[in-house]
């Protein structure tokens, strides 16, 4: 009984050894004889997560017979996607003519959600193995990024700022992003994708979409730096982008009247008081606004107050101008130009001043005529009725 057992044991060991010998023989014959082998130049590649790798694998047949080999991948890590093509076809087996070679394209996608490390797999063609290694250079992320190449822009208060941003979907699913901005009140932020205004954008996994963010500042904004936070949000991922707009100071001023009426009447030699409004339409504070005038000869314009120390952007100041006309001005229309200026900017308004001649001489004429009629009346009394 014991002998029998021993025999079986011996037999199994010998079978084991025999099979082991056989394997060794086959593999050594594969390398040693170089009848059929696989070749690719880049056997170890270092990539970031989410990249895809294209291997070009050459199958060489050194034998004098046609080799029809089944090709497959073994040991591919879990979650990695791959396909194998040759001549544009997905292949399972490949036949190679004697003393010829064929090319297989292997496309491997490294997933995004992956740990750092070295991953191995084998390409198997018949009895031939080609071990390949992929080193994942960093830990993979599973998120969205929203970036702008130039997140800071400078301009005037009346210019529009266009930021070129890029929305990267680094997740495994297609995402529909809603685009939002938390700009301060009065700012106008619009998103453009493919030259169209959009409020949401759909991005395929591991893909990106170029987004143009247009920022229009409100009217009458003061000079300064403004932060415009924008974000792309879905229900499970989101990305923020902080844009920065620097408004440079512009100096602009408009001089007008409260009603917009720029004509007035004046009696020659008399004066008229006009209310003027100086409006700061720029984005910087105007300091030391000085009024001036350009009037016909011997006309005088005085201002109350004589100057304005400062006007805030978007604000206005009142100024009273008193026009005094020349005593010898002739009846009809004259032009009087009133100017306000600061060291930076000037504004002017032209008044059409209708001069009226004083009624004094008219009354003198009436008196002369009345005197003449009085004389007639006196003569009637003296001579007429006797």
Nearer CB in complex with another protein: 306/382: 382
The secondary structure element, H or E, covering residue 178 is strand 175-181
Q: Left, alpha or beta for 220 (phi > 0: left; psi -120 to 50: alpha)? A: left
The yes or no reply on residue 306 touching another protein (CB under 8 A) is no
Interactions with another protein, residue window 356-375 (CB under 8 A): 356-357, 359, 361-362, 365-366, 368-369, 372-373, 375
13, 15, 127, 331: residue in contact with another protein (rule CB under 8 A): 331
**DSSP bridge pairs for 213:** 163, 191
User: Contact between 120 and another protein (CB under 8 A)?
Assistant: no
The torsion angles phi and psi of 294, rounded to 5 degrees, stand at -140, 105
**Terminal Cα-to-Cα distance of the chain (whole angstroms):** 194
Strands (E), 261-383: 263-267, 271-280, 286-294, 300-304, 308-311, 316-324, 332-341, 346-356
Cα angle 187, 312, 352; round to 5? 105
DSSP secondary structure letter of residue 186: T
Closest to another protein by CB, 305 or 332: 332
Residue closer to another protein by CB (options 38, 329) is: 329
Query: Considering only residues 55, 121, 146, 299, which one is a binding residue for another protein as defined by CB under 8 A?
Result: 299
In this chain, which stretch among 69-77, 87-95, 181-189, 354-362 interacts with another protein, using CB under 8 A? 354-362
Q: Is 380 in the site for another protein (CB under 8 A)?
A: yes
Contact between 352 and another protein by CB under 8 A: the answer reads: yes
The torsion angles phi and psi of 203, rounded to 5 degrees, stand at: -130, 130
* Smallest distance, another protein to C-beta of residue 277, A: 24
Report 127-156 residues binding another protein (CB under 8 A): none
Half-sphere exposure of 310 (CA within 13 A, CB side): 5
292 binds another protein (CB under 8 A): no
* Residue 334 touching another protein (CB under 8 A): yes
How far, in Å, CA of 159 to CA of 335, rounded? 36
Q: Which single residue is written with the structure tokens 């007008």? A: 256
97 near another protein, rule: CB under 8 A: no
Residues forming contacts to another protein in the complex (CB under 8 A) are 295-299, 326, 328-336, 352, 354, 356-357, 359, 361-362, 365-366, 368-369, 372-373, 375-376, 379-381, 383-386
């Amino acid at each position: 009984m014991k002998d029998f057992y021993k025999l079986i044991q011996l037999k199994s060991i010998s079978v084991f050894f025999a099979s082991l010998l056989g394997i060794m023989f086959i593999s050594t014959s594969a390398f040693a004889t170089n009848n059929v082998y696989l070749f690719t130049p880049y056997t170890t590649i270092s990539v970031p997560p989410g990249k895809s790798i294209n291997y070009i694998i050459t199958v060489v047949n050194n034998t004098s017979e046609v080799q029809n080999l089944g090709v497959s991948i073994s040991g591919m890590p879990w979650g990695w996607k791959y396909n194998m093509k040759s001549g544009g076809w997905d292949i399972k087996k490949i036949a190679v003519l004697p003393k010829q070679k064929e090319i297989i394209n292997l496309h491997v996608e490294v997933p995004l959600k992956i740990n750092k490390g070295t991953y191995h797999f084998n390409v198997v063609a018949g009895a031939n193995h080609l071990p390949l290694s992929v080193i994942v250079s960093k830990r993979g992320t599973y998120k969205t990024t929203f970036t702008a190449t130039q997140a800071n822009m400078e301009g005037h208060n009346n210019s529009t700022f266009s930021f070129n941003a890029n929305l990267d979907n680094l997740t495994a699913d297609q995402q529909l992003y809603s685009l939002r901005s938390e700009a301060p009140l009065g700012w106008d932020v619009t998103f453009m994708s493919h030259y169209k205004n959009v409020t949401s954008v759909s991005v395929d996994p591991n893909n990106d979409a170029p987004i143009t963010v247009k920022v229009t500042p409100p009217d009458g904004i003061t000079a300064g730096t403004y932060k415009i936070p924008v974000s792309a949000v879905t229900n499970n991922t989101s990305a923020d982008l902080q844009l920065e707009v620097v408004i440079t100071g512009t100096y602009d001023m408009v001089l007008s009247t409260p009603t917009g009426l720029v004509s007035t009447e004046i009696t020659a030699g008399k004066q008229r008081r006009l209310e003027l409004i100086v409006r700061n339409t720029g984005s910087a504070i105007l300091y030391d606004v000085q009024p001036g005038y350009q009037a016909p000869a011997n006309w005088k314009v005085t201002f109350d107050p004589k100057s304005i120390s400062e006007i805030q952007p978007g604000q206005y100041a009142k100024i009273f101008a008193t026009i005094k006309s020349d005593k010898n001005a002739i009846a009809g229309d004259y032009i009087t130009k009133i100017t306000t200026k600061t060291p930076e900017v000037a504004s002017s308004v032209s008044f059409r001043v209708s001069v009226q001649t004083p009624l004094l001489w008219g009354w003198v004429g009436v008196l002369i005529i009345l005197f003449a009629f009085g004389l007639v009346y006196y003569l009637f009394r003296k001579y007429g009725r006797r």
